[in-house]
A and B are shown apart, each in its own frame.
Chain A
């Protein structure tokens, strides 16, 4: 079993829909990252969370440490949101580079 599991693996949505991507992990963590990877391969860091909730524009990320679960929400989705969204956790006590990555959720938003 992978230490970081994401669901769904693939997601197709219509423009304007509310989208949720889930991440569950099985290790103790000190932080969780949500990353966005565009088709060309470049990665952008969206959020780093250690508790609670963060919001940036149409993106919202939440984390429940007790349940070892995080969600990424996209409100009013748009075709430009189409990308792979990756959840990554920093293992408790690990160096910042020692992230454990999920396999990603491929999102496609249709106009």
Chain B
């Protein structure tokens, strides 16, 4: 299994500012995924982060708005830039298990963001 931690767990931010969310995994993983869950909605994949290469963004998400770092195999950050109230969401980090559970996806506890 994989244990994932995220920081911060929640934050309240002013519009126009930026917030960086950290994701730490207790084992080395190839791919890390960032999701967003807007209020009352299902999860949406923002991007896939591979170590040593640029993140791959899904349609509707761009690097300027959601820059991602992946400096090593256990850590990633997602920055929400120039925030607006529409960015108020839960942001979740996820990894794919590489052990005998092969294919099981593990999720972090999430970062609950409120933009005023």
| A98, B108: Cα distance in complex, Å | 17
Q: Which residue of A lies closest to B101 (CB)?
A: A48
Known contacts A48-B104, A97-B45, A103-B42; A42 and B110 CB within 8 A of each other: yes
A66 surroundings in chain B (CB, below 8 A):
none
Q: Which residue of B lies closest to A46 (CB)?
A: B104
Indicate if the CB atoms of B96 and A43 lie closer than 8 Å.
no
Q: Does B90 contact A (CB under 8 A)?
A: yes
Interface hub of A40, A88, A95, A96 (most chain B Cβ within 10 A):
A96
| A106, B43: Cα distance in complex, Å | 15
B106 surroundings in chain A (CB, below 8 A):
45
Q: Which residue of B lies closest to A50 (CB)?
A: B103
Q: Which residue of B lies closest to A2 (CB)?
A: B42
The majority secondary structure among interface residues of chain A is strand
Interface size on A, residues (CB 8 A): 22
B94 surroundings in chain A (CB, below 8 A):
97
Binary interface encoding of chain B residues 93-113 relative to chain A, with 1 for a CB under 8 A from any of its CBs, else 0:
010100001011111111010
B105 surroundings in chain A (CB, below 8 A):
33, 45, 48, 96-97, 99
Q: Which residue of B lies closest to A97 (CB)?
A: B33
Q: Does B92 contact A (CB under 8 A)?
A: yes
Q: Does A27 contact B (CB under 8 A)?
A: no
Known contacts A95-B31, A97-B94; A43 and B110 CB within 8 A of each other: yes
List 8 tightest A-B contacts by C-beta distance, closest first: A41-B110, A43-B107, A97-B33, A42-B109, A101-B42, A96-B96, A41-B90, A101-B43
* A-B contact sample (10 more), CB < 8 A, given A40-B112, A98-B45: A41-B92, A41-B110, A42-B109, A44-B107, A86-B42, A95-B48, A96-B31, A97-B94, A97-B96, A101-B42
Residues of B bordering A, CB below 8 Å: 31, 33, 37, 41-45, 48, 90, 92, 94, 96, 101, 103-110, 112
